[in-house]
A = this chain, B = another copy of it.
Amino acid sequence: MKNIIRNMALAALALPLAMSLSAASEHPKRQDAALEKSHPILMLTEESVVEMREAAGSVPRFDAAVAQLIAEADAAVERELCVPVPKDGGGGYTHEMHKQNYYDMYNCGVAWQLTGDERYAEKTKEIMYAYAEMYPGLGYHPLGLSSVPGKIFWQTLNESVWLVHTSVAYDCIRDWLTEKDRRHLEKNLFRPVAEFIMDGTPDNRANNVTFNKMHNHGTWATAAVGMMAIAMDDDDLLDKALYGSDETGKNGGFIMQLDRLFSPDGYFTEGAYYQRYAIWPFVTFAQCIDHYRPELEIFSYRDGIIVKAVEALLQMAYDGEFFRFNDALEKGYDAQELIYAVDIAYNADRSRKDLLSIARDSQDRVLVSDAGYAVAKDIQDGQAEPFELKSLLFRDGADGNQGGFVVMRSPREDQNSAVTFKATSHGLSHGHYDKLTFAYYDNGHEIITDYGAARFINIEAKYSGHYTAENKTYAMTTIAHNTLVADCRSHFDGKIKVSSLHWPQMMWADLGKKAVQTVSAVDTAAIPGVRMQRVITYADVPFLEYPLIMDLMKAESAQEHVYDYPVHYNGHEISLSVPYEKALDVMRPLGKEDGYRHLWVEAQAHGGDGVTSYTWMTGDRMYTISTATTPQTEIFIVRTGADDPNFNLRSEPGYVLRENGRSSHTFASCIETHGRYDMQVEQSANLVHSCKGVKVLHDDGDLTVVEYEFINGHSVVLACCLRATSPQERHSVTLPDGTTLTWTGAVSVTCR
C-alpha cells in the first residue's frame, strides 16, 4: 500500500501538475538525470517533502519540530566554519566541534529540503568540502586511547555516528550539487570514510572486525556505511553493509545483526538501558533501507524483529522510565533514541496506533522526517490509542534459549506496579553479577531497587563522566543486588569470561494480568557447588490491600556456606519486628569482600523465632518484607558509601538477612504493599503490616510448601513443584500437622 502511494506521488511529480506547485513548495530540482534513484531517500523522500511543504502550518506538532530544526540550521549558517585537526577525546574541543559539524550538516541538509533556501545547501556543502580537504591527510587520531581508533574522533564509533548524519545531509543536497561536486566529495571524503569504517587500514583491521561483529557498535558501522552507500547510489557498498564485508551474509552485516543481536522476543542482551542505545542505528538504517530497497521488506524481516525490539523496549519500563538493571542510569521514553524508535516503528506499521500515545504523552518532539510527519499528523487526527503495559517474558539469546527477563504487572487495574525478575545471560560488558535478582516498582516509585550503574555521565569531576571504579567494585557485584550471595563472593567470582558462558534455566513464567502470576528459574553455575532456584509469585489476595509478592530463594549445596539475602530499597526505615542495635557513635563496613566493603552497617539484629518483618515507607505507602527466620539469622541494615574515596556512590539503604553455616537453605519471604498516608488531611490507614508468620511447611526434594500467616486468622499457602512439571501433574505432601496437601502443576496459591 505504501509503495503504491509512493509510486503515485512520483508519477504526479513527473506530470505538468507538479509544475503548478508554488515556488515555496517547489521541490529542489535534480540538476542532471542519471539512472539512479531520486534523492532524498534516506530519512526523507522526495514525495514526503512535497507533502510536508504543503502541510506547513496545519500540523502544529510537526511545525514545532520543523521550527526547531530551522532555528538550529540558521545557527549553523551563522557559525563560522571550523573543521579542526583532530586532537581531543570525548568532551574536548575538537571532539565537540566535529559533533557540532555533523549536526550542522544534518540540520542544514534537511532545512534545504524543507525550505528550498540555498543558504542551507551552501552551508552543508561548505562543511563537506572542508572535511574533504582535511580527511585524506589524516592518520589515526592522536589520542591513542581506543583499541578501535578513528581518524576524526578518538574511536571509530563516533566516526560511524558522524557518517550516519553526514549521509543524510548528503542525501538531502545531492541533487542540488553538481556532478563535479559529487565526484569530489565522494572520492575524497564519503567513500574513504565509509571504507575506513568498513575495513580499517592495512595496519589495523580492528574496524573490519567491528564492522562484521555481532555488537551494537557493529550496527553503527553497518548503518553508517549502508546509509552513505544509499546516498551515493552504491548498491555494491550497500550489499556489504547488509551482508558483511564479504557479502556472504554469513560473517557479518546488518541482516545478520538483526538475526543475532535480538532474541526472538526482541530483547537485547545488555538490558533495557543499552537496548535504548542499540536501537538507534537499527531503526534508522532500516528506515533508509525500506525507502531504497522496499522489496527487502526489512520491517517484516524475522517476523518483524525491529518493531518487536521497539515494543520490547517500551514494555521494559515503569512510568515511562526504563527498568534499571545491568549498567543503567535514568532514561525513559523521552530519550532521543526513543523518538527515532517510536516514529520509525509507527511509520513502518501504521496499525500500531498505541505508539502514537507514547509520542504524544511522553515525547516532546517528533523527527523531521516522513516518519515524524506521519506520527504528528495521525496524532493530530486523533488516532492515538493507549499503550498497554503487559506482563511478559523476554527470552534472552539469539535463539531465545539463554534465560530471560520477566515483568509481572499488577493484576489490579487501580495499581500501577511491576515486579521484574532477571534470569538472563551476562549481558556483555554492561552485565552485572546478579543471577535471579528481582526488583519492585509501585505507586510511581522504585521500591525494591537495582543500583544500576555507578556513573555520572558528562561530569568531569566524576572520573570524567566514565563509569567509576565503584561500578566494578560495587554496582556490578552480587551483594549490590536482590539475590543470593554465598560466602560474600560475587557470582562467577566477578569474572565476565566465566559468567558469559552460562545462564539460568527458565523453569516457568505463568503471566498475564491475572490473580496469580508466577515465574521461576534455576542457576547452577553462578556459585560453584550451589544450585539456586527462585520462585517469585505475585498474587492478588482477597484480604490484603494490594497484591502480595511471595519469594522463595532456595540454595542447595553439599558444602556449608554463608548465605546472604539482600533487599535494597528506596525509602525510610519504619520498623523491624525484632530489637536492633543501631550504630550510634561508630560505623563500620559490612565486610571486606566483593561489594561488601562499600556498605556501612547502620544497624544489626538477630532474626525473630519464626519470622522477621521489616517495614519501610516510600511516598505515601508502606512496604513490609516478612521472612522465615530463626534467632541464628543475622540481620544488617546497611547503606552505601563506605570505601568510596570520591563520593562516587549514591547513599542508598538496604536490608540483609544472613544464614551461617548452611549447606541448603530456603529464604521464604513475602512483600506486602500496604497503607495510605494522606498528608493533605493527616489521615492514614493500614500502616502496620499484616503478616504474622512465614512457615516453610515442607521443603524436600522438588516440593516446597510455605504458609504465610496474616492477622485475623487469614493465611496464604504457596505450594510449588520446583522441577519441570505439567499443569496436569498432581503433587502431594504430608504437612507437619499430618494433613495432606495436594495440588496440580508447578504452583498453587490458596488463600483462606
- Residues on the B chain within 8 Å of A573, using CB: 647
Which residue of chain B lies nearest to A589 when distances are taken between CB atoms in the complex?
A: B585
A71 contacts B by Cβ under 8 Å: no
User: CB within 8 A of A574: which of B331, B461, B677, B687?
Assistant: B461
Interface size on A, residues (CB 8 A): 52
* Contact across chains for B688 and A647 when beta carbons are under 8 A apart: no
Complex CA gap A584/B598 in Å reads: 8
> Which residue from B334, B459, B582, B597 sits with its C-beta under 8 Å from A585?
B597
In the complex the two chains form, is A584's CB within 8 Å of B642's CB?
yes
Given contacts A585-B597, A586-B587, A639-B651, contact A682 B645 (CB under 8 A): no
In the docked arrangement, what's the CA distance between A575 and B464, Å?
A: 12
* Residues in B neighbouring A641, C-beta threshold 8 A: 602
The yes or no answer to A730 lying at the interface (CB within 8 A) is no
Give bound CA distance, A688 to B460, whole Å. Answer: 8
In the assembly, how many copies of this chain are there? 2
Determine if A662 is an interface residue (Cβ-Cβ < 8 Å): no
Per the 8 Å Cβ criterion, residues 592-629 of A in contact with B are: 597, 600, 602-603, 615, 617
The residues in A between 638 and 681 inclusive whose CB is less than 8 angstroms from any CB of B are 639, 641-647, 650-651, 653, 677, 679-681
Q: How far is the CA of A603 from the CA of B645 in the complex (A)?
A: 9
Q: Is there a chain B Cβ closer than 8 Å to A350's Cβ?
A: no
Give the contacting residue for A644; candidates B330, B582, B637; CB below 8 A. Answer: B582
Q: Chain B: which residue is nearest A339 at the CB level?
A: B680
- Expressed in whole angstroms, the Cα–Cα distance for A684 and B459 within the complex equals 9
A302 contacts the other chain (Cβ, under 8 Å)? no
A10 is an interface residue with CB less than 8 A from chain B: no
Closest to A681 in B: B336
- Contact yes or no, B574 A457, CB < 8 A: no
CB distance from A491 to the nearest CB of B (A): 25
Q: Are A457 and B679 in contact (CB under 8 A)?
A: yes
Do B679 and A331 have beta carbons less than 8 Å apart?
yes
Q: Give the distance in Å from the alpha carbon of A109 to the alpha carbon of B425 in the complex.
A: 65
Q: A587-B586, A679-B330 are in contact. Are A684 and B643 (CB under 8 A)?
A: no
- Whether B329 pairs with A645 at a CB distance below 8 angstroms is no
**A and B contact pairs by CB, cutoff 8 A, 20 listed:** A335-B679, A335-B680, A336-B680, A457-B679, A457-B682, A458-B682, A458-B683, A459-B617, A459-B677, A459-B684, A461-B575, A582-B645, A582-B646, A584-B644, A584-B645, A585-B589, A585-B642, A585-B643, A587-B642, A603-B647
